[in-house]
Chains A and B, each alone.
Chain A
Amino acid sequence: MPEPSVFEELRRANALLAREAEAAYRDVAERLARVPVVIRVDDEVLFVRASARGIDVRRGPGPARVEIATTRALLADLLEGELSVLDAVVNGRLFLRGSVDDLLALERAIGAYLHGAIRVPRFESLLAAFVAATRRERLASEIAHERPKAGCSP
């Protein structure tokens, strides 16, 4: 599993949002309270649910109303503006399952999260570190796949 994991990144981000953008954090928690989510990112599975106490992230699946499946590479591309959420869904790089109402509620929660996060200066370095780590993984993977294997002959 790549380090740091999405689980750790998300918990760190949530703690930062709670500490430095408390109103946004409470808004997100309120919006997420009725939409528990399972997120599958590469080999990781996370269960996210919220209550008046805050946003809770655990490893493993749970009783979700919405499921998201994607990759770290896609998350980095979205954060860098390389493509839109709509493009990602249409291209099959982002899988979403849930009722329309629940998906819209999740979209509003993510919007509230981002509006809070972009106003916290420390988020910029958190996002930059995540994107840089993901790009390094991609590069390493590409190099590994290009390297000729010893002993192979045409």
Chain B
Amino acid sequence: MIAETRLQASLDRLLRVRGPGLSFDAATPHKEWLHFAVHGPEVDAVVNFSVVTRDPTSARDRDAARVGRLAVLVHTDRWQGNIERCADTALAVRRNGTRLVLGEGRLELRNGRFFLEATLARTGLALGLELEPITSPVQIRDFALDGGPPMSWLVVPRLLATGWVRHRGGTVWLDRAPAYHDHNFGRFVWGANFTWEWGYALPRDPRVPWSLVFVRISDRARLSDFVSGLFVWFGSTPERAFGANELEIEHEGLLRQERLLKVPGVLGLLSPGTDTDVPRRLVVRARRGSDRVEAAFEAHTVAQILVPHERDPGLTAIHEVKGRVCVRGAIAGTALAFESPSVFEFLRA
């Protein structure tokens, strides 16, 4: 019991909000976001809590020194969602980073579990979830985007979500539904020379022990990768990390749809149209010795989060793409064969 309590406290410390700390690169704003995706039987939801902290350089900047944003995207038979800015006065990080308040959003870490509440009043969306990690976190420290200051990334690929999601069509109750979490923090500038592709596979069937995460961070033209990897968990334990030289990544086709939800809506005026370069299918093949894994993501539908560049007039588009992943392969002689709901993320700058 004491050991379990210590483990939970240690997990709370690992998963907590970090804050900007001290930096030799204070000119670059510190960014931190906590991202969750949940897959219910009739609903998929993405929730993102983010905090940007900049060192004020003038009196004008002072009230923009710390900005929180809460993004919620829900897919039923269509996408609904928005991103809302939260004033500094409604933003609080408490209890050593284990409690984050962003206006109508709250995220608390307690006994190794997340307690999440999020409301976007204008869109009629709200969630109340308890998320229990069932895989150990993996943390990648100090990787750089475009040679910039270091970023860190922490991922919990598989959680069980219990609670509710309310949308314009009703309320969906979730009971130990599969969920995903990642947490990024560090200093970078939106619009710098980077893009990413990111996704996960977590089976609905709790008896399937595998889960995996794919990440690829590239330059804007996607001619060279800064970081890429496929991380595989067996049960709660990280089992394999395939590196860049062990991966083949293939895009097939382009996802097309008649309507494209863009948030915030006002940025859609600067980025009209529905064309994206999100692939219809993305296949990742990993091989090391006799170990091999193939994860094939079939994209079904996309929503777009738009972010203004900080040092030029461009926009970054973060595509949240709902689909299915089919995983096949074998590791240490044990077969992997499962299908998974997923929301892959394709960032284009």
Contacts and interface: CB of A to CB of B under 8 A. Distances in A.
A1 B268 CA distance: 29
Contact of B85 (A85, A111, A121): A121
Given A20-B60, A79-B266, 8 more contacts: A78-B265, A79-B265, A80-B266, A82-B265, A111-B270, A115-B270, A115-B313, A122-B63
A81 B85 contact: no
A48 to B, nearest CB: 18
Interface stretch (B19-27, B30-38, B247-255, B256-264): B256-264
A84 B85 contact: no
19 contacts: A78-B265, A79-B265, A81-B264, A81-B265, A81-B267, A81-B269, A84-B269, A110-B269, A115-B270, A115-B313, A119-B308, A119-B310, A121-B63, A121-B64, A121-B67, A121-B85, A124-B85, A125-B85, A127-B266
B268 A114 contact: no
Contacts of B170: none
Q: How large is the interface on B (under 10, 10 to 19, 20 to 34, 35 or more residues)?
A: 20 to 34
Contact of A118 (B64, B67, B87, B266): B266
Contacts of B266: 79-81, 114, 118, 127
A24 to B, nearest CB: 9
Given A79-B266, A81-B268, A111-B270, A118 B308 contact: yes
A120 to B, nearest CB: 9
Contacts, number: 49
Interface of B: 60, 63-64, 67, 85, 87, 122, 261-270, 272, 308, 310, 313
A86 interface: yes
A58 B269 CA distance: 25
A153 B87 CA distance: 52
Given A81-B261, A81-B262, A124-B85, A118 B267 contact: yes
